Structure 1
């Protein structure tokens, strides 16, 4: 007991010292001009560039990825890449505000179903158009926000930079290394708050990297990093000088912070009587569905899209908040069996990797125990495929986020039109979470569905809807807000409250709609698509993923024609 009290006293001293530094930093931040803030963000970008290799390789070793494995590419793309693009665009947004304009000055705005104003998030530049050819994304604003309002309201906390918001606490994620740093940027810029970051203990190896990459913010006294477990998190959330909390994690962790634990916590939650008395925002994951619209697919289409689905589940060993977990297919699709056969093969063939995230093996075993039919897959049998058919409707895989390499498949009846309508209704009523959803549809079938397809997309109440793409691409898109569909509240938090990333500082976003090519190049051209994009480097089957990921980061550090050619040379060997 004495040792515990001593540890708590030491933690309290560290926290109090960090808070005192940040109070001083907040005063300086309030006086810092917008151009000076933009310059600071560019310093962060330079710091990230300086430690990008250390970042990617440290993350790879932390996750048990073998040296030289193509899987290292995941850590280049889900680590330094996201910070390089976010800091660059955030700095540009501040420059536009400093010039008396809007962050949306010069951006492309349009209109979506239901009269919603849209903002193009991808591609925004010639570089993005070339490097991500065939991918495009729009941010749909909430109904009633017109183009003029969208431009006038963009900027969030930087519209009135002297009105700082106190100290924001970021309880960092333990799975994707870019998340804690991106959340720090969201608190600092969108929230206009100085920040104390407590990384998840799982990320302990990354703390020295964060200290280097975010060093300019630390030296400016607008960021402090404090390590520790749940007890340190509890002290921080209860600290009188903390004005806001942001957590990336699970709904259970959110509820423990907001309402407490045990019987008291359950009672408070039932009464919607939070113990936490300051605002909290959150990104909490959920069950991410993959709707497979029936069509006439070639053998190459079946194989490619099976690898696509396998990637959605197996990227980062399944430890992603938007890892695809539930495949919904038509029981009347003539190609159903062939697609599932390709899916089994794709899951089996994906490179072996450890289930590195704590508790993954236990959660996978729980999924096996909760479903009467479960197939152990993969080189070492750690992957679980649940082919449940029509009987899978209402199964635990629809409501339990396993955060492990577990993939369920259920059937709904119908042809393309009736199946799509049924699938949209099903995910709305039965499937847990509203963070992200994926829809796979071949171009001919989408044309046949016409406006009905667009209306189905509008009815999908998810923070990100990805069509022929994985929602993880939107996560990596700096201009796209990231978070659950709006409308959750503390006692029913779902996939979370609020949005992060959002480097255009858009106010009033409803969701992001991302589109990718149904087929990779060169088959895309033969199929009538304009995409020149090869097999994506984030595919778990991409043989050159490590080289492509590294070269993409090197390109964004210092763009040049030579480096762009190097990206494509690597990507086309995937």
Structure 2
């Protein structure tokens, strides 16, 4: 199957949808061991184009040759696709052996009668690679460990029933999103996908076709370029049974309800324009809750760079970028932290925003907030808690901060209420807390996490780590509808195929190695390679991708050497 770079005409799109219908029937009849084999073949195909993939994505974002920023494209592109395809192959292999994809995963009980299942680390190599990090998927209240394991697998083990044909509308900011979404549609629902790329990644079409060749060959995937008109035609096509979109709430609502007066009428009559189900991941305003503590100068500097990274990664063009820093009004070190945050904005390498419309959004943020500061092309502003920074996902290097009264658990409870009730969206929330402050809160800390209504929560990490983990779930907190879609509906990734998960919680070390050990944390993790100031991010990302393609202790050592020089 070969597709030209130009958007295909409607007859060509019609033909692809017919082929995908046949492909869905073929996949439905395919024995589970053969499905595992196909995903192993996908891993090999992705490995074969990994360098072209990363380099082409970097060029699309105007990243200079040899820049450490290229590490972002290795890690968020082919590395993520390799991890995901391998996870699904393992899930199929477990089902082939008559086991649940969740068998062997440790569980514990967390607040609200929830079962938490650990998805990181699993195995000795993961313990070394992610030393000091852990991740759990929290199920809704009342789901026992036995039920979790019994229901895991979704439709991956179902043979003989087709999931039909879906349309995947790909994102334009992270190059692995569209392939990962197509993977999940196929594995979780037995649904083949026509993937329409965002125009920003048009140059990746040929690379995607080669990376997904095993799926394309059996009629499980087709990939096309195209603008909004192509997407609109496909979304309302009678050959499409379901739509999945990663993008903005405005785009979602246009697909579902239409525009202008038509949309108003359809909403009032509860008569959506879209006649098939839709799932989505739509971003939002992500909080970074900084719990007051007693920090050293090195802590202040490190965590300021950490917070800056949550905003500046990918030039700020991430649906999961941190946007609202919640600080303690009574924290004696608040002003010192803000000074370090300004210093991080000034010190980290300047980078031109590349996503369409970024310059306009930067100007809008400055115009809407009195006293907004522009530092090295980035905007830092104080929020009143009732301004556009709470409601507008800027998708650009704009970072706001808001003061909340209290210290310890009192502060954390107030910050959770602010994040839940005032900020738009429920995709991800970050919490930064030093080990002593966390210990002093006892059970109240984890109870506060349970109260945070977000699909991914990161403690001393960035929620994007959850995006990268194949075994974690990715999506908004449950409960959204097409009428009030928020950050989206349903999840993707979910490598253990858990049924009805509530959220993922990622935990990392407060301090990098070697400061972590005398600071009371047994973590040997260096400065993370995704940090905006990581000097060896490109070589670390390249080697990490090579490791994911063929894990071994020798390749793991090859990752660690540059990682410790970051």
Q: Is the 8 A contact 1:104 1:154 kept in 2?
A: yes
Q: Name which of 365, 369, 372 aligns with 1:371.
A: 369
Structure 1 segment 81-160 matched on structure 2, within 5 A = 81-160=79-158
- Contact 2:125–2:553 under 8 Å retained in 1: no
Q: Is the 8 A contact 2:241 2:277 kept in 1?
A: yes
Q: Tell whether 2:420 aligns with 1:425.
A: no
In the TM superposition, what is the alpha-carbon distance from 1:399 to its structure 2 partner?
Answer: 0.8
Structure 1 CA distance, aligned partners of 2:306 and 2:249?
A: 28
Q: What does residue 379 of structure 2 align with? A: 384
Residues 280-321 of structure 1 show CA distances to partners (whole Å, capped at 9, x for unaligned) of: 000000000000000000000000000000000000000001
1:125 is displaced (CA, Å) by: 2.0
Structure 1 CA distance for aligned equivalents of residues 333 and 53 of structure 2 = 43
Aligned equivalent of 1:60, options 40, 58, 61: 58
Is 1:416 aligned to 2:408, yes or no? yes
Per-residue deviation, residues 128-170 of structure 1 (Å, max 9, x unmatched): 1111111101000011211111111111121323212100110
In the other structure, the counterpart of 1:238 is 236
Q: Does 1:473 align with 2:471?
A: no
* 1:502-548 Cα distance to aligned partner (Å, 9 max, x none): 11111010001110000000110001101100000000011111111
Alpha-carbon distance in 2 for matches of 1:125, 1:353:
38
1:270 to 1:333, Cα distance in 2 relative to 1, 3 A = farther
Secondary structure at 2:118 match in 1? strand
User: Counterpart of 1:150 in 2: which secondary structure?
Assistant: helix
User: Aligned ranges for residues 339-488 of structure 1 at < 5 Å?
Assistant: 339-378=337-376, 382-388=377-383, 392-488=384-480
**Structure 1 residue 566: Cα displacement:** 1.7
Query: Pairwise CA RMSD of aligned residues?
Result: 1.2
* Distance in 1 separating the partners of 2:429 and 2:555: 33
Q: Deviations over 1:435-488 (max 9, x none)?
A: 000000000000001111111001001000100000000000000110000000
Q: Deviations over 1:31-79 (max 9, x none)?
A: 1110000000010000000111111111111100111111010001000
**Deviations 1:207-252, CA, capped at 9 Å, x for gaps:** 1111111111111111111221111111101111110100000000
Are the counterparts in 1 of residues 92 and 157 from structure 2 also a CA contact under 8 Å?
Answer: no
CA contact (8 A) 1:522 1:532 kept: yes
State the alpha-carbon separation in 1 of the partners of residues 281 and 202 from structure 2: 21
Instruction: Measure, in 1, the Cα distance between the counterparts of 2:159 and 2:511.
Output: 46
Deviations along 1:91-146, one digit per CA (max 9) or x if unpaired, are: 01011112222111222222211221111111112221111111101000011211
The Cα of 1:271 is off from its aligned counterpart by 3.9
CA–CA separation in structure 2 for the residues paired with 1:536 and 1:479? 20
Unaligned runs of 5+ in 2: 1-5
TM-score by length of 1: 0.96
Report the Cα offset of residue 565 of structure 1.
Answer: 1.6
Is the Cα–Cα contact under 8 Å of residues 326 and 403 in structure 2 kept in the other structure? yes
Q: Distance in 2 between matches of 1:102 and 1:564?
A: 28
Q: Distance in 2 between matches of 1:267 and 1:368?
A: 35
Count matched residues: 561
* Distance apart, 1:551 and its partner CA: 1.0
Distance in 1, Cα, partners of 2:350 & 2:64: 10
1:558 is the counterpart of 2:556: no
The CA distance in 1 between the partners of 2:454 and 2:160, in whole Å, is 34
Q: Equivalent residue for 1:25?
A: 23
Q: Which residue of 1 aligns with 2:483?
A: 491
Partner residue, 2:162: 164
Number of the residue aligned with 1:500: 492
1:153-192 superposed matches below 5 A:
153-192=151-190
Matches within 5 A, 1:524-563: 524-563=516-555
CA contact (8 A) 1:173 1:248 kept: yes
CA distance in 1, matches of 2:156, 2:540: 35
Mean alpha-carbon deviation: is it higher for 562-571 or for 543-552? 562-571
Contact map agreement 1:14 1:226 (CA 8 A) in 2? no
**In the aligned structure 1, how far is the partner of 2:502 from the partner of 2:298?**
35
Question: Partners in 1 of 2:316 and 2:461 — Cα distance?
Answer: 17
The residue aligned with 1:4 is none
- 1:272 and 1:490 in contact (8 A); partners too: no
Counterpart position of 1:254: 252
Distance 1:335 1:387 in 2: 17
Q: 2:317 aligns with which of 312, 316, 319?
A: 319
Cα distance in 2 between the residues matched to 1:460 and 1:168? 32
What is the CA–CA distance in structure 2 between the aligned matches of 1:260 and 1:285, rounded to whole Å? 20
Distance of 1:447 and 1:287 partners within structure 2: 28
Deviates more, 1:286-295 or 1:149-158: 149-158
Question: How far apart, in 1, do the equivalents of 2:557 and 2:165 lie?
Answer: 44
Deviation string 1:555-574 (CA, Å, 9 cap, x unpaired) is 12222222222211101111
Match of 2:3 in 1: none
| Superposed displacement of residue 270, structure 1 | 4.0
Provide the C-alpha distance between the structure 2 equivalents of 1:420 and 1:560, rounded to a whole number of angstroms.
Answer: 42
Alpha-carbon contact 2:18-2:239 (below 8 Å) kept:
no
- In the alignment, which residue of structure 2 is the partner of 1:70? 68
Moved more, 289-298 or 114-123: 114-123
| Equivalence for 2:562 | 570
- Cα distance in structure 2, aligned partners of 1:337 and 1:124: 40
Q: Give matches, 1:210-359, under 5 Å.
A: 210-359=208-357
Equivalent position SS for 1:110: strand
CA distance in 1, matches of 2:548, 2:223: 27
